[in-house]
């Protein structure tokens, strides 16, 4: 099994990797399909199903789909250009993607939120259609946004397509048990094995630049969140809090009256800064999703700013170790809130961050696996119930608590010798089963939990 660090960590836009980035990616793929087709197209249609329908407006799925069909992609997204394009589409009721003729597309008529008909492959389903001059559908493709910005067609999902395409890698572990056995046999750390796999699939120079870029974007997102206040969009009128908390923490720095638990506020504020930016539609890095994007950067920033002896030279090892754990979770369970609840998002992110922190603080592979296990185990059963379908309540605070759990998990693992009762593989399988059994209303539909017990205005 191989999942690149650049698959697990993608630069994109908020508020959701599955509901915003995924539909935009799917639309881009559909445009490529049209460009390769011999048909003459005159129009476009789209329908959103399952969780994409129920929480699509709150997650900007409609905007993402429209912009994707106009040729926008998450990694090159330009906010000002996007706003101008949306206005033009509303006025002309058409899109003009590069390499295709101007196509009829009226968002009010041609983009359907289908609340009644879920698609069979995944909770996040969408159908994209191209029509001829008479309005008849002549090209149709079903896409599933399976979490973290990953998109599969219905054929790819049915075939069980995974991330194994490409040259063989030296350490093809599919489970945590295999990962630990390979580490023992090779004498390498998890990061070293993961780096060898990455280099086997690409260039070492571009890899180093790529990982540096990931942290640059993550850290810039933290900084924007720490310096921006105001009200988040969406109608709930949720106040940004990261700036005020950070200002207070800076004012208190150096005072002898600080309680030891104040360090938790630092971890939380880093995470909240990221997720406030995500909720505002800013640039973030999936880690492994947008809804959980604050956990890992917060723990890495905590390490760099607050742990004695921390070094930026360890950032790559942190990301590699975290990506290895994230790959195991995605391969053997899910990182999609719509498929398995928030345990699959913040729980996975906390496990990844715990593993990364444990690794850069000198943990053995066994201690790293233990750290990931502790963090994920204590998120089991967490539901995804965003109020009004927005990635704001409880999502922003939840990232802060996920970061705190990650640090605690790494610390507990480092206090031991790596031997523990519950293996990570068992926890991942338990998370998969729990997600399967979880009622649909608790899986990113906003039909249960806090979403129905908290007033939306």
Q: Are residues 128 and 198 in the same domain?
A: no
- Same domain flag for 249 and 139: no
Q: Are both 146 and 182 inside the same structural domain?
A: no
CATH number of the domain within which 61 lies: 3.30.1330.90
Q: Which of 12, 333, 301 is nearest to 149 (CA)?
A: 12
User: Do 181 and 91 share a structural domain?
Assistant: no
Do 187 and 258 lie in one domain? The reply is yes
Average pLDDT over residues 8-32: 96
152 in the same domain as 180: no
pLDDT at position 93 is 98
Q: Which of 123, 158, 193 is the last residue of a domain?
A: 158
Indicate if the pLDDT at residue 457 is higher than 60. no
Q: For 23-78, how does the pLDDT look when each residue is reduced to its tens digit (9 = 90+)?
A: 999 999 999 999 999 999 999 999 999 999 999 999 999 999 999 999 999 988 99
Is 138 among the domain residues?
Answer: yes
User: 3 in a domain, yes or no?
Assistant: no
Are 33 and 94 within one domain?
Answer: yes
Q: What is the pLDDT of residues 413-453, one digit of tens each?
A: 999 999 999 999 999 999 999 999 999 999 999 999 999 99
Q: Give a yes or no: residue 9 inside a domain.
A: no
Answer yes or no: do 318 and 399 share one domain.
yes
Residue 164 lies in a domain: no
Residue 4 lies in a domain: no
Q: Is residue 168 part of a domain?
A: no
Kindly report, residue by residue over 266-319, the tens digit of the pLDDT: 999 999 999 999 999 999 999 999 999 999 999 999 999 999 999 999 999 999
Q: Which residues pair with 166 in a beta bridge?
A: none
Q: How far, in Å, CA of 242 to CA of 63, rounded?
A: 27
Residue at which a domain ends, from 99, 125, 158? 158
373: domain range? 176-453
What pLDDT is stored for residue 433 in this prediction? 98
Computed over every residue of the chain, the mean pLDDT equals 96
Structurally, the chain folds into a number of domains equal to: 2
In the listed set 124, 158, 192, which residue is the last one of a domain according to the structure?
158
Cα end-to-end span (Å), the chain: 46
Contact between residue 45 and residue 110 where contact means Cβ atoms under 8 Å apart:
yes
Q: Do 82 and 141 share a domain, yes or no?
A: yes
Residues 117-142: tens digit of each pLDDT: 999 999 999 999 999 999 999 999 99
| Same structural domain, 146 and 194 | no
Predicted model pTM: 0.94
The DSSP 8-state label assigned to residue 380 in this structure reads T
3-state secondary structure the chain: CCCCHHHHCCEEECCCHHHHHHHHHHHHHHHHHHHCCCCCCCEEEEEEEEHHHHCCCCCCHHHHHHHHHCCCCHHHCCHHHHHHHHHHHHHHCEECCCCCCCEECCHHHHEEEECCCCCCCCCEEEEEEEECCCCCEEEEEEEEEEECCEEEEHHHHHCCCCCCCCCCCCCCCCCHHHHHHHHHHHCCCHHHHHHHHHHHHCCHHHHHHHHHHHHHHHHHHHHHHHHCCCECCCCCCCECCHHHHHHHHHHHCCCCCCCCCHHHHHHHHHHHHHHHHHHCCCEEECCCCCCCCCHHHHHHHHHHHHCCCCCHHHHHHHHHHHHHHHHHHHHHCCCCHHHHCHHHCHHHHHHHHHHHHHHHCCCCHHHHHHHHHHHHHCCCCCCECCHHHCCCCCHHHHHHHHHHHHHHHHHHHHHCCCCCCCCHHHHHHHHHHHHHHCCHHHECCCCCCHHHHCCCC
pLDDT given at position 204? 80
Structure tokens, 126: 């969408």
Mark whether 198 and 59 lie in a shared domain: no
> Are 26 and 105 contained in the same domain?
yes
In a domain, 207, yes or no: yes
* Residue 7 belongs to a domain: no
């Amino acid at each position: 099994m191989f999942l690149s660090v650049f698959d697990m960590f993608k630069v994109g836009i908020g508020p959701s990797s599955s509901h915003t980035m995924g539909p935009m990616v799917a639309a881009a793929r559909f445009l490529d399909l049209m460009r390769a087709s011999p048909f003459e197209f005159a129009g476009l249609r789209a329908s959103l199903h399952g969780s994409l329908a129920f929480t699509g407006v709150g997650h900007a799925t409609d905007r993402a789909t429209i912009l994707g069909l106009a040729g926008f992609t998450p990694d090159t997204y330009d906010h000002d250009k996007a706003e101008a394009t949306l206005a033009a589409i509303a006025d002309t009721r058409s899109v003009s993607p590069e390499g295709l003729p101007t196509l009829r597309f009226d968002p009010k008529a041609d983009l359907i939120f289908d609340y009644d008909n879920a698609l069979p492959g995944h909770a996040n389903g969408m159908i994209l259609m191209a029509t001829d001059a008479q309005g008849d559908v002549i090209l149709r493709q079903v896409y599933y946004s399976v979490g973290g910005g990953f998109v599969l067609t219905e054929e790819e999902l049915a075939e069980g397509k995974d991330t194994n395409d490409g040259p063989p890698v030296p350490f093809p572990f599919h489970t945590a048990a295999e990962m630990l056995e390979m580490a023992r046999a090779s004498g390498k750390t998890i990061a070293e094995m993961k780096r060898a796999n990455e280099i086997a699939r690409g260039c070492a120079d571009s890899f180093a630049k790529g990982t540096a870029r990931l942290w640059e974007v993550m850290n810039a997102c933290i900084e924007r969140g720490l310096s921006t206040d105001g009200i988040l969009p969406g109608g709930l009128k949720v106040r940004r809090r990261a700036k005020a908390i950070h200002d207070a923490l800076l004012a208190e720095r150096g005072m002898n009256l600080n309680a030891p638990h104040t360090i938790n506020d630092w971890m939380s504020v880093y995470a909240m800064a990221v997720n406030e930016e995500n909720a505002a539609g800013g640039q973030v890095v999936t880690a492994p999703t947008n809804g959980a994007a604050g956990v890992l950067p917060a723990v890495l920033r905590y390490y760099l700013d607050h742990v004695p002896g921390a070094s930026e030279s360890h950032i790559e090892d942190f990301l590699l170790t975290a990506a290895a754990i994230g790959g195991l979770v995605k391969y053997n369970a899910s990182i999609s809130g719509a498929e398995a609840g928030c345990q699959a998002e913040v729980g996975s992110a906390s496990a990844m961050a715990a593993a990364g922190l444990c690794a850069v603080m000198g943990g053995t592979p066994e201690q790293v696996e233990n750290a990931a296990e502790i963090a994920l185990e204590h998120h089991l059963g967490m539901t995804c119930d965003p109020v009004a379908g927005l990635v704001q309540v409880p999502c922003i605070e939840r990232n802060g608590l996920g970061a705190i759990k990650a640090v605690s998990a790494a610390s507990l693992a480092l206090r031991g010798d790596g031997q523990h009762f519950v293996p990570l593989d068992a926890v991942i399988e338990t998370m998969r089963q729990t997600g399967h059994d979880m009622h649909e209303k608790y899986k990113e539909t906003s039909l249960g939990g806090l979403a129905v017990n908290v007033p939306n205005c």
